[in-house]
Amino acid sequence: MGYHPITPCLWFDREAEQAAKFYTSIFKDSRIDHVSRFGKEGYEFHKKEPGTAMTVAFKINGQNYTALNGGPDFKFNESISFQVSCDTQEEIDNYWDKLIEGGEEQQCGWLKDKFGVSWQIIPSVLGQLMSDPAKAGRVTNAFLQMKKFDIKKLMEA
């Protein structure tokens, strides 16, 4: 068997193209590769105006994604999220501030963007801190008090 890449497909009601533009504006090395559009065919089923984006193929940091305008039947929830590992507080602040625009903060480095997609903006050092039995409890107590992660406070815990 050959190598078969896995492409996450994000189901939107009507916001696929706007979401792809939003995400590719935030992350470096990102682009929209292709947009397919609804025609008049099948309107009785999809109820989308001709010319509306059907699917948007885009790439973030080398990972392929598809955004689909599939209608209002399904909504995003926290059972699926995207983790962004950050080396510095500046990176955390940058991604957090951009992704939270129009969205909502949640606990422990989680946020929900304006499209309802869940993100975890986490410091790359977190795994190391949590694997140290002498620090893990204190680090956990520290991050349970946070929405956006503060690396300095985690390191001090």
Domains of the chain: 9-69 (3.30.720.100), 81-156 (3.10.180.10)
Asked whether the beta carbons of 75 and 60 are under 8 A apart, the reply is no
pLDDT at 4: 85
Mean pLDDT by 10 residues, the chain (157 residues): 89 97 96 97 89 97 96 95 98 98 97 98 96 93 96 94
- Under 8 Å between Cβ of 118 and 77: yes
pLDDT of residue 20: 98
Nearest to 105, CA basis, from 148, 68, 51: 148
Contacts of 8 (CB under 8 A, 6+ apart): 63, 65, 66
